[in-house]
Chains A and B, each alone.
Chain A
Amino acid sequence: MTTIQDLATPATNTWCPGCGNFGITIAFKRAIVQLGLEPEEVVATSGIGCHGKITGYVNVNGFHTIHGRVLPVATAIKLANNGLTVVGFAGDGDGYNIGMGHLPHAARRNHDITYVVHNNLIYGLTTGQASPTSKVGRRTRTTPRGVFEPPINPLSIALSSSASFVARGYAGDVQHLTELFVEAMSFTGFALVDVLQPCVSWDRIQTYQFYGERVYKLKEEGHDPSDLMAAHRRALEWGERIPIGVFYKKERPPYRENFPFLEGTPLARRGLDPDISGLLGEFS
Chain B
Amino acid sequence: MSLTGIIGNSLSILVGGEAGQGITRSGSLLGRAIMRGGFHIFGANDYPSIIRGGHNLYLLRASDEEISSQYDLIDLILALNKETLLLHVDELNEGGGVIYDERMEIREGEISRKDVKRYPVPLSGIVEEIGGVPIMRNTVALGAALGLVGYDLEFLDGAIATTFEGRDAIIESNVKAAKMGYDYVAEHYGGDFSCRLAPFKDRPERIMLTGNDAVALGAVQAGCGFFVAYPMTPASPVLHYLINNDMETGMVVVQPESEISAINMVIGASYAGVRAMTATSGGGFSLMTEALGLAAMSENPVVVMVGQRPGPSTGMATYSAQGDLLFIIHSSQGEFPRVVVAPGDVEECFYSTMEAFNVAEKLQIPAIIITDKYLIESHKSTAPFDLSRVGIDRGDLLEIEEWEGDGEYERYALTKSGVSLRLKPGTKGAFLRANSTEHDAKGFSTIDPSTIEEMTEKQRRKRVSLEELVVTLNPVRAYGGDDPDITIVGWGSTKGPVLEAIKMLEREGISARFVQPVYIEPFPVEAMMDELSGGGRFLLVEANKTAQLGELIRLHTGFTFDNVHLRYDGRPFNPGEIRDKAKEAMR
Contact of A62 among B207, B226, B272, B434 (CB under 8 A): B434
Contacting pair B431 A60 (CB below 8 A): yes
What residue of chain B has the Cβ atom nearest to residue A41's Cβ?
B426
24 contacts across the A-B interface (CB closer than 8 A):
A40-B425, A40-B426, A40-B431, A48-B436, A52-B437, A56-B433, A61-B426, A62-B432, A63-B268, A64-B436, A69-B260, A72-B261, A72-B265, A73-B265, A73-B268, A76-B272, A80-B272, A81-B273, A101-B257, A105-B257, A267-B225, A274-B223, A276-B385, A284-B384
A83 at the interface (CB under 8 A from B): yes
Q: How far is the CA of A259 from the CA of B247 in the complex (A)?
A: 8
Q: How far is the CA of A71 from the CA of B268 in the complex (A)?
A: 10
Given contacts A40-B427, A62-B433, A64-B434, contact A279 B445 (CB under 8 A): no
Contact of B268 among A74, A105, A277 (CB under 8 A): A74
Q: How far is the CA of A144 from the CA of B372 in the complex (A)?
A: 49
* Residues of B with C-beta under 8 A to A10: 444
Q: How far is the CA of A61 from the CA of B430 in the complex (A)?
A: 8
Additional pairs, 18, CB under 8 Å, beyond known A77-B425, A80-B274? A61-B433, A62-B435, A64-B434, A69-B261, A69-B294, A72-B265, A72-B268, A76-B226, A80-B268, A80-B272, A84-B426, A260-B247, A267-B272, A267-B274, A269-B399, A272-B223, A279-B245, A283-B209
A136 at the interface (CB under 8 A from B): no
Given contacts A9-B444, A66-B294, A275-B387, contact A76 B208 (CB under 8 A): no
A278 at the interface (CB under 8 A from B): yes
What 8 A-B pairs come out closest when comparing CB atoms? Answer: A76-B268, A272-B223, A72-B264, A80-B272, A76-B265, A73-B268, A283-B207, A61-B425
Contacting pair A64 B425 (CB below 8 A): no
What residue of chain A has the Cβ atom nearest to residue B400's Cβ?
A269
B463 at the interface (CB under 8 A from A): no
> Chain B 261-297, CB within 8 Å of chain A: the 1/0 string?
1101111110111111000000000000011011000
Binds A, one of B49-57, B149-157, B213-221: B213-221
* Residues of B with C-beta under 8 A to A73: 264-265, 267-268, 271
Q: How far is the CB of A135 from chain B (nearest CB, A)?
A: 28
B125 at the interface (CB under 8 A from A): no
* Residues of B with C-beta under 8 A to A278: 248
Contacting pair B261 A261 (CB below 8 A): no
| B residues whose Cβ falls under 8 Å from a Cβ of A | 36, 162, 205-209, 213, 217, 220-223, 225-226, 228, 245-250, 252, 254, 256-258, 260-262, 264-269, 271-276, 290-291, 293-294, 298, 384-385, 387, 392, 394, 399-400, 424-437, 443-445
Contacting pair B425 A284 (CB below 8 A): no
Q: How far is the CA of A281 from the CA of B119 in the complex (A)?
A: 35
Contact of B271 among A60, A66, A77, A261 (CB under 8 A): A77
Contacting pair B248 A279 (CB below 8 A): yes
Q: How far is the CA of A48 from the CA of B445 in the complex (A)?
A: 12
Q: How far is the CA of A59 from the CA of B444 in the complex (A)?
A: 11
A65 at the interface (CB under 8 A from B): yes
Q: How far is the CB of B457 from chain A (nearest CB, A)?
A: 22
* Residues of A with C-beta under 8 A to B245: 279
A280 at the interface (CB under 8 A from B): yes
Contacting pair A279 B432 (CB below 8 A): no
Given contacts A75-B268, A102-B257, A280-B207, contact A84 B425 (CB under 8 A): yes
Q: How far is the CB of A102 from chain B (nearest CB, A)?
A: 6
Contacting pair A80 B431 (CB below 8 A): no
Contact of B252 among A45, A79, A276, A282 (CB under 8 A): A79
Interface core residue of B387, B430, B436, B437 (most chain A CB under 10 Å): B436
* Residues of B with C-beta under 8 A to A259: 246, 252
A159 at the interface (CB under 8 A from B): no
Q: How far is the CB of B266 from chain A (nearest CB, A)?
A: 7
Query: Dominant SS at the A interface?
Result: helix
A1 at the interface (CB under 8 A from B): no
In chain A, positions 43-61 with a C-beta closer than 8 Å to chain B are: 43, 45, 48, 52-53, 55-56, 59-61
Q: How far is the CA of A283 from the CA of B209 in the complex (A)?
A: 6
* Residues of A with C-beta under 8 A to B428: 38, 40
Interface core residue of B245, B264, B293, B444 (most chain A CB under 10 Å): B264
* Residues of A with C-beta under 8 A to B223: 272-274
Q: How far is the CA of A59 from the CA of B264 in the complex (A)?
A: 23
Contacting pair B291 A69 (CB below 8 A): yes
Q: How far is the CA of A38 from the CA of B384 in the complex (A)?
A: 48
Contacting pair B274 A11 (CB below 8 A): no
In chain A, positions 66-101 with a C-beta closer than 8 Å to chain B are: 66, 69, 71-77, 79-81, 83-84, 101
What residue of chain B has the Cβ atom nearest to residue A57's Cβ?
B444
Q: How far is the CB of B126 from chain A (nearest CB, A)?
A: 28
A8 at the interface (CB under 8 A from B): no
Given contacts A64-B437, A278-B248, A280-B207, contact A76 B432 (CB under 8 A): no
Interface core residue of A73, A81, A260 (most chain B CB under 10 Å): A73
Q: How far is the CB of A50 from chain B (nearest CB, A)?
A: 13
Contacting pair B445 A64 (CB below 8 A): yes
Contacting pair B272 A81 (CB below 8 A): yes
Q: How far is the CB of B421 from chain A (nearest CB, A)?
A: 15
Interface core residue of A65, A262, A278 (most chain B CB under 10 Å): A65
Q: How far is the CB of B161 from chain A (nearest CB, A)?
A: 12
Interface core residue of A38, A53, A262, A268 (most chain B CB under 10 Å): A268
A39 at the interface (CB under 8 A from B): yes
Given contacts A53-B445, A80-B274, contact A274 B222 (CB under 8 A): yes
* Residues of A with C-beta under 8 A to B436: 48, 64-66
Q: How far is the CA of A45 from the CA of B433 in the complex (A)?
A: 10
A145 at the interface (CB under 8 A from B): no
In chain A, positions 195-219 with a C-beta closer than 8 Å to chain B are: none
* Residues of B with C-beta under 8 A to A40: 425-431
Q: How far is the CA of A71 from the CA of B400 in the complex (A)?
A: 25
Contacting pair B256 A72 (CB below 8 A): yes
* Residues of A with C-beta under 8 A to B252: 79-80, 259, 262, 267
Q: How far is the CA of A269 from the CA of B426 in the complex (A)?
A: 10
* Residues of B with C-beta under 8 A to A56: 433, 444-445
Contacting pair A283 B425 (CB below 8 A): no
Given contacts A62-B433, A277-B387, A279-B248, contact A268 B260 (CB under 8 A): no
